[in-house]
Amino acid sequence: MTVPRKNISLFLSILFSLFIGCKNNSTTSSSQVVIAIPSDVERINPLFSYSINEANINELLFLSLVKHTWNRQAGELKTEPMFATSWEWNLDSSAIMLQLRDDVQWSDGVPLSINDVIFSFDVYSDPVVESYLYGSFKCFYTDKEEHIISSKTFEKLSETKLKINFKPGSTPTLFNLDFPIVPKHIFDKMPRTEIATAEESFAPVTSGPFTLEKWEKNQAVIIKENPTSFLHKDGNIKRIIFKVIPDYNARLAQLKNGEIDLAEYLKPEDVSQLKNSGSFVVTSLKGREYDYLGWNNLDPILYKKSGKIVPNKLFGSVKTRQALSMAINRNEVLSQYLRGYGAVANSPISPIFKNAVDDKLPPYSFDLAKARTLLEEEGWSDKDQNGILEKEGIEFKFTLTISSNNPRRIFAATVFKNNFRQLGIDMKIDQVELGMLIDRINNKSVDAWMASWIIPIPLDLKFSWYSNLITTPMNFPSYQNKELDALLDNLETKITGQQKNDSYKKVEAILYRDQPVTFLYWIDNVVAYNKKLKNIEVTPLGTVHHCWLWQ
């Protein structure tokens, strides 16, 4: 028995039309947004918001006591009510009185109460939980393990009025209260050590303007509006899909194709194409991340052997480091690689902090003649005429270690290698896996490296610039300066905003002068989103931020 060819063709064409015709309309809905994320979240539990994506999603699912917005004019944070409707500090800022809402419910119907707030502080600071905020409650009364002592800290004045007492001498701000509140009735039932792996960390009970609709592992996190939330407004976004797309090119293709509505960290070379299409708003988030050339200020071999801090033979001197900063052409990377989506960095204080940054500081310009003079003053010269500078028998040769998966840094390293060569400095480039680079930087076993910092908001410099290398493990260049330490200590005392800004400017002047690292450039996070989306504000606090206001 044979099937006629005509019948086979007919069957195939019906199948093909069915195949092509079966379209799903869900992603084209006008009230939903599809946001690309490069990797899936690990958990949906605000206690463990280690990554930006987890923090973004948790902000939409869980209420905090207060929320923060960015005041562009002043270049600083502005606090607004959330679960707390109002607050009042006492005269010496050692306590705060919070008025709480009484109309919020968890997604399982249980009311969100003052007990959840107290429980949240307790559980976030509990060492066995290992929350992302562990060790950050320095303004609170804590035990040796930095666990908040609730009896000393909280006073329940009524069912909606809470008083929080802070440690004497500390400088608390409302930012210390801005973290998602977690449900006591859920997590109190289980041992604290099991919260991290509990089912509720994957299918959470929430309180925010959105609730979790579905989490398709490795595919997407889907959240939908919570109509009972006081943040809910008709006409705003009803559904957000965080779609996992690990490959950059696939993300870009889907953006152009309309399968996703918003993507971040786009390459500058793709911007013109997106702009020309006329379908997207292309903008950028500025001043949160800078690249730097790290100089090991101490001798890595001696430090490893005996823990002795001896200045590095190449990078131990201020003048040499200044010369190195003048010897590199940062503008070449800015114009050719970043295509204008960045700005020269003078210090770790971002230009977004308008009152704290000294905008009159001139950037170290590319000036080989001046750099050569400085190096000569330090005793570096090419006596044997082999093209490489030497001093006391040591040639100016070093290896720059960079991560192998970052094309920007590979490009920049090549530019800088050529720049240094013109000056008589021989730099080799060693590309290693990121984990290995972090390991080497941590162990202080590299001479020089290129990496980046994402700066925290509110501004904090102590974690990376304080001289004590034991308590400040993130002082990777091992830079030590007592004057700077005094200023950083002073910033933690009760001083006015103006005094604070003045201190920051002094800190910046010292770091600018000493160049413990060469600050390279602030890198913009290029964002593109579909023009149909309205009311999106890209601020230093992020792009996917306060999405309940999106339309």
Nearer to other proteins, 160 or 399 (CB): 399
CB of 356 to other proteins, least distance (A): 16
CB-neighbour burial class of residue 171 (10 A; exposed 0-12, middle 13-18, buried 19+)? middle
Nearer to other proteins, 26 or 381 (CB): 26
Beta bridge partners of 36: 243
CB of 308 to other proteins, least distance (A): 22
CB of 229 to other proteins, least distance (A): 21
Q: Residue 292: count other Cβ atoms within 10 Å of its Cβ.
A: 20
CB of 534 to other proteins, least distance (A): 21
Determine which helix (DSSP H) or strand (DSSP E) holds 446, and give its type and residue range: none
Collapsing DSSP states into helix, strand and coil, what is residue 517? strand
CB of 476 to other proteins, least distance (A): 10
Nearer to other proteins, 42 or 492 (CB): 42
Classify strands 280-285 and 525-530 as parallel, antiparallel or unpaired: antiparallel
Q: Residue 15: count other Cβ atoms within 10 Å of its Cβ.
A: 10
Nearer to other proteins, 471 or 535 (CB): 471
CB of 263 to other proteins, least distance (A): 13
Residue with tokens 């590095």: 312
Cβ pair 204, 221 in contact under 8 A: no
Residue with tokens 């899909």: 241
Collapsing DSSP states into helix, strand and coil, what is residue 262? strand
Query: 3-class secondary structure for 149-164?
Result: CHHHHEEEEECCEEEE
CB of 423 to other proteins, least distance (A): 32
Nearer to other proteins, 54 or 116 (CB): 54
- Of 233, 124, 225, the closest CA to residue 184 belongs to 124
The token pair at 476 is 């990777």
Please give the backbone phi and psi of residue 115, each rounded to the nearest 5 degrees, phi first.
-65, -35
Nearer to other proteins, 34 or 374 (CB): 34
Nearer to other proteins, 3 or 369 (CB): 3
CB of 108 to other proteins, least distance (A): 22
Task: Report cis status (omega within 30 of 0) of the bond before 4.
Answer: no
Give the interface with other proteins as residue ranges (CB under 8 A): 18-20, 22, 24, 26-27, 32, 34, 39, 42-43, 50, 127, 130, 132, 134-136, 146, 196-197, 201, 214, 216-220, 222, 239, 241, 243-247, 249-250, 253-254, 256-257, 259, 433-436, 438-440, 442, 453-456, 460, 463-464, 471, 473-474
What does the alpha-carbon distance between residue 138 and residue 419 come to, in Å, rounded to a whole number? 45
Nearer to other proteins, 374 or 441 (CB): 441
Q: Residue 415: count other Cβ atoms within 10 Å of its Cβ.
A: 17
